[in-house]
Amino acid sequence: MPSVRRDDVEQLRATAVAVVHQVGELVLRMRVAGAGQVETKTSATDVVTVADTAAERLARRLLAQWRPDEPVLGEEEGGAGPRPGGLCWVVDPIDGTVNYLYGLPWYAVSVAVQRDGQSLAAAVGQPAAGRLWSAARGRGADCDGAALRVSGATRLELSLIGTGFSYRSERRARQAAMVAGMLPRIRDLRRAGSAALDLCSVASGWLDGFAEHGLHRWDWAAGALIAAEAGAVIRLPHCGSDFLLAAAPGIVDALADLVVQCGADAV
């Protein structure tokens, strides 16, 4: 991967933050007015609200203005793949759409910029709480200006682990079996409904680890960089596996082993 100058990643971070800020304001305004019309995507439970569509359009408009000619991959409109060596913006306009639909405050706007599949800068905003996490590769991660550090967990049996579930019922049945295997071996499990915020929670030390199978790039591109820059060890989806794991260094191997024992890396 070509090297990136420090000033450049900080500039990219500032752009990601500015997009998340403006899109977050729109998403919050639209939520106050109600979730509005809802359509379904891959299954009856996989929803898209009018706010998802409007938010992604705004993100694309801002990026076209500030970063012309750089491709955008978004949850709602998709997008062409990046050119090798070129930058690509990855946008999830609302991560945690089901929470948004029900009025639960745990939803996020997530924006990352990647080169050759590696995130260089990222921002995740939680509009309902007014929080904003951001990171730049090699420059650390913060939440509203406060530097972040993952938890010092060293014992898996005392660790709080986050996860999430697919919208497809046959995969969910296998994920339930994985949860049954993991639950007796950890402190407890959380399923909060936004992978981007789960990863920011690992960065903030609110979770000791996070593991989920079947995430899309827009779900993790920003949160994984924020967690990594806060000191988490990340295992990204790779060829032949779409399993993502992020954890404090003291438990990552034990968590990875447990996940394999429960068959969770292959669900």
Instruction: Sort residue 95 into left (φ over 0), alpha (ψ -120 to 50) or beta.
Output: beta
**CA 226/CA 206 separation, integer angstroms:** 14
* By the rule CB under 6 A, 194 interacts with ligand IPD: yes
* Given 24, 74, 82, 96, the residue binding ligand IPD (CB under 6 A): 96
Question: Which member of 17, 28, 215, 252 binds ligand IPD (CB under 6 A)?
Answer: 215
Q: Does 92 bind ligand IPD (CB under 6 A)?
A: yes
134 binds ligand IPD (CB under 6 A): no
Check binding of 195 to ligand IPD (CB under 6 A).
Answer: yes
Taking CB under 6 A as the rule, does residue 210 contact ligand IPD? no
Q: Scanning residues 164 to 193, which ones bind ligand IPD (CB under 6 A)?
A: 164-166, 193
Residue nearer to ligand IPD on the CB measure, 193 or 250: 193
Smallest distance from ligand IPD to CB 67, Å = 23
Pattern 71-90, ligand IPD, x by CB under 6 A: ----x---------------
* DSSP result, 149-169: -------GGG-EEE----SSH
97 binds ligand IPD (CB under 6 A): yes
Among 56, 95, 142, 208, interactor with ligand IPD by CB under 6 A: 95
Scanning 124-132, 150-158, 160-168, 181-189 for contacts with ligand IPD by CB under 6 A, the matching segment is 160-168
Q: Tell me if 250 sits within 8 A of 152, measured CB to CB.
A: yes
* Buried-state track 231-249, b at ≥16 Cβ within 10 A, e below 16: bbbbbbbeeeeebbbbbbe
Residue 176 burial (CB < 10 Å; 0-12/13-18/19+)? exposed
Q: How far is the CB of 206 from ligand IPD (least distance, A)?
A: 15
Which residue in 113, 135, 99 sits closest to 217, CA to CA? Answer: 113
Kindly list the residues in this chain that would bind ligand IPD in the complex (CB under 6 A).
75, 92, 95-97, 164-166, 193-195, 212, 215, 219
